[in-house]
Amino acid sequence: MRPILMKGHERPLTFLKYNRDGDLLFSCAKDHNPTVWFADNGERLGTYRGHNGAVWCCDVSRDSARLITGSADQTAKLWNVQTGQQLFTFNFDSPARAVDFSVGDKLAVITTDPFMDVTSAIHVKRIASEPEDQVGESALILKGPQGRINRAVWGPLNRTIISAGEDAVIRIWDSETGKLLKENDPEVGHKKTITSLAKSVDGSHFLTGSLDKSAKLWDTRTLTLIKTYVTERPVNAVAMSPLCDHVVLGGGQDASMVTTTDHRSGKFEAKFYDKILQEEIGGVKGHFGPINALAFNPDGKSFSSGGEDGYVRLHHFDSDYFNIKI
């Protein structure tokens, strides 16, 4: 399994996202320019220029026509995927962190960071089908969580919004009324910042990764803990295979600690775990810095990782991967 090395970013990667067809891969980094690549051979298709700060997150619509990005320049932008043209800019009073299109792409959830005396918030925006009809007003603003909200995603049928972040609590909100419906049981929850959240294909469960060196699998409806995967290092990114019962965790030390380790060896690996048995089944080494982003191709036959080293590594699985037996 030889990785394809994709070098297009000057700065650390923050997020990776495949489109639904699995033929395009979108990457966000701290260098202001989200980039789109061909997912089969890693060829760069183009960049989306217009942000003025690190880009933290992106999402692409179901028909691959629209891209939404959230950035530290206190905006979230809508783009035309094909032409790279900016369609609309949502302005906020603090950096935009997580973005997620709803099922049907009529709504988007955007989280904003605490900044000066502004608290963190979750904004729901209506997304117009025609760019000229787009308005900037929020349909709903949710507040309450302390610290950054690192991820917010839509629950089943867009009825709920699931959020997680620095206060290590997973919350489920009613997306109509904005009411807080559930919080996870602190006894079994994460002990430190939740860095990442990935939903299963059918939306019935989701995976969270945390700086407490673990990842946890949760039931979406009841918010009960199903599984816990323990590692030796903080988890910055998680992904779930749509094909096999595998979860992948990526991480490494905090960026400020990296100089204390041996950088030559490409030691930072994406670890694969059996989803059911919670056992480690393998790892993919290669990054020269912590892994900040992971994504599976929707067909489950390849995955990509993005690191602090500015590279995206695209891995097409060999046939023996699909026959791993424990």
Average pLDDT per run of 10 along the chain, which is 326 residues long?
94 98 98 97 97 98 98 98 98 98 98 96 97 96 95 97 97 97 97 97 97 97 97 96 96 65 69 96 92 97 96 95 85
How far apart, in whole angstroms, are the C-alpha atoms of residue 99 and residue 124? 10
How far apart, in whole angstroms, are the C-alpha atoms of residue 34 and residue 13? 10
On whether the CB atoms of residues 12 and 29 are closer than 8 A, the answer is yes
In the Cβ-directed half-sphere of 301, how many Cα atoms lie within 13 Å? 8
Handedness of CA 215, 109, 299, 1 (dihedral sign): negative
Structure tokens at 299: 């067909």
In the Cβ-directed half-sphere of 270, how many Cα atoms lie within 13 Å? 26
Instruction: Quote the pLDDT of residue 325.
Output: 80
How far apart, in whole angstroms, are the C-alpha atoms of residue 195 and residue 291? 12
Longest dimension (CA), the chain: 55
Sheet holding 4-7: strands in order across? 4-7, 311-316, 302-307, 291-296
How far apart, in whole angstroms, are the C-alpha atoms of residue 60 and residue 99? 10
Instruction: Quote the pLDDT of residue 84.
Output: 97
Q: Which residues contact 262 (CB under 8 A, 6 or more apart)?
A: none
For residue 107, which of 164, 181, 183, 161 has the smallest C-alpha distance? 161
Instruction: Quote the pLDDT of residue 252.
Output: 82
Q: Exposed, middle or buried, 23 (CB in 10 Å: 0-12/13-18/19+)? A: middle
Instruction: Quote the pLDDT of residue 256.
Output: 58
3-state DSSP call for residue 136?
coil
Bridge partners of 269, per DSSP, are none
10 Å Cβ neighbour count for 200?
16
Phi, psi of 32 (to 5 degrees): 80, -10
Question: How, if at all, do strands 171-174 and 235-240 pair?
Answer: unpaired
On whether the CB atoms of residues 122 and 142 are closer than 8 A, the answer is yes
Identity at 47, one-letter amino acid code: T
3-state DSSP call for residue 133?
helix
How far apart, in whole angstroms, are the C-alpha atoms of residue 276 and residue 266? 29
DSSP-H helix ranges across 52-194: none
Sorted by where each starts, the structural domains of the chain and their CATH numbers stand as 4-323 (2.130.10.10)
Q: Which residues contact 140 (CB under 8 A, 6 or more apart)?
A: 123, 124, 175, 178
Instruction: Quote the pLDDT of residue 266.
Output: 63
Q: Exposed, middle or buried, 75 (CB in 10 Å: 0-12/13-18/19+)? A: buried
Instruction: Quote the pLDDT of residue 324.
Output: 84
Question: How, if at all, do strands 225-230 and 66-71 pair?
Answer: unpaired
Instruction: Quote the pLDDT of residue 319.
Output: 92
